[in-house]
Amino acid sequence: MVLENLRRTLSGFVQRLSEVELDERKLRPVLDELLLSLVANDVALEVAEALCNQVLQELVGCRVGRFEKRKPIVKQALLSAILQLLEIGGRFDLLGYVRNAEKPVKMVFVGVNGTGKTTTIAKVGYLLQQSGFKVVFAASDTFRAGAIEQLKEHGHRLGIRVISGRYGADPASVAYDAVEHARARRLDAVLVDTSGRIHTKHNLMEEMKKIVRVIDADLVIFVGDALTGNDAVEQAREFHKYVGITGSILTKFDADAKGGAVISVAYITRRPILFLGVGQRYEDLQPFDPKTFVAQIAAGL
């Protein structure tokens, strides 16, 4: 027994000799290097800094082997922090949600012009249809020339009815008509296309708020263009602040997007990423999987 205790004490002593405690001075150079990699991968600077500071706090005071390399330890901690962030809102299973929710499920797609709202609505409509749900589109972008025809073209190809009004009509009332249509025909989901191009941010946000309020939307989905990096982050912040979003879809991943926007948008909104847009065909909508995404990021750090 005495011998056993002595052995344990001795081995603890030897272990302490071969270990060092991590402190900020040892960690900073490695963190700075990883911060630059994150930024090079299009993560917004403020988000990259916040993640690195979080990792620093977690690691300071940890004991590691004296000759162990610091970088793999710090990198692993950073990747865990990113994974935790991406799983924060829980995975959002859209099909499961629609299956269990009261019908019709009302979804409003928001975002600035050109990010891919209308294309994404067509893709989500197709996905729902493939799963046996009955869907209607609301052409609530009554602002941009050609917007109504664009949605109608998708509706025509997919065999999905589009409820529309005149250009200049109140977008909220078009959305409301689509909900009434869905109720009368016992449809499963209403997908509302909105305008991204209003003169001022204030007007745009007021218009979105009104649509969401008038139809009592179940889901508000932010659509951002992953290629625009920091701009997408600012937009997500604004829409979340003024309208409140359920989650995000980031588009154009087929076009060489580095992926940082996903991390930044998740960090700023603390809401799940639902899908990634990976092309222009209806099938090009990929459910977002945090683990696969982090594995891809890991390869690039």
Binding residues vs Mg ion (CB under 5 A): 117-118
- Among the listed ranges 74-82, 99-107, 114-122, 228-236, the one in contact with ligand GTP (CB under 6 A) is 114-122
Q: Does 246 bind ligand GTP (CB under 6 A)?
A: no
Nearest Cα neighbor of 172 from 212, 202, 144 is: 212
Find where tokens 């008038």 sit. Answer: 214
Question: Applying CB under 6 A, which of residues 278, 286, 287, 301 lies at the interface with ligand GTP?
Answer: 278
Cβ atoms of 275 and 281 closer than 8 Å: no
Q: At closest approach, how far in Å is the CB of 112 from ligand GTP?
A: 7
d(CA 83, CA 87): 6
| Segment contacting ligand GTP by CB under 6 A, of 46-54, 94-102, 117-125, 214-222 | 117-125
Pairing of strands 63-65, 19-21: antiparallel
- Residue 1 host element (H or E): none
Is residue 175 within 8 Å of residue 169, measured between CB atoms?
no
CA distance linking residue 299 with residue 301, whole number of Å: 6
SS3 44: coil
Q: Candidates 2-10, 31-39, 91-99, 250-258 — which segment interacts with ligand GTP by CB under 6 A?
A: 250-258
Q: Which is nearer to ligand GTP, 170 or 254 (CB)?
A: 254
| Contacting range for ligand GTP; rule: CB under 6 A; set: 78-86, 160-168, 249-257, 288-296 | 249-257
* Nearest to ligand GTP of 22, 94 (CB atom): 94
Query: Number of residues in contact with ligand GTP, rule: CB under 6 A?
Result: 22
Interface pattern 140-159 for ligand GTP (x via CB under 6 A): -x--x--x------------
Q: What per-residue string of b and e applies to 129-156 under the rule 16 or more CB within 10 Å gives b?
A: beeebbbbbbbbbbbbeebbebbbebbe
Specify the residue, 58 or 153, whose C-beta has the smaller distance to ligand GTP.
Answer: 153
Which pair of structure tokens corresponds to residue 22? 């991590």
Site residues, ligand GTP (CB under 6 A): 111, 113-119, 141, 144, 147, 196-197, 251-252, 254-255, 277-280, 284
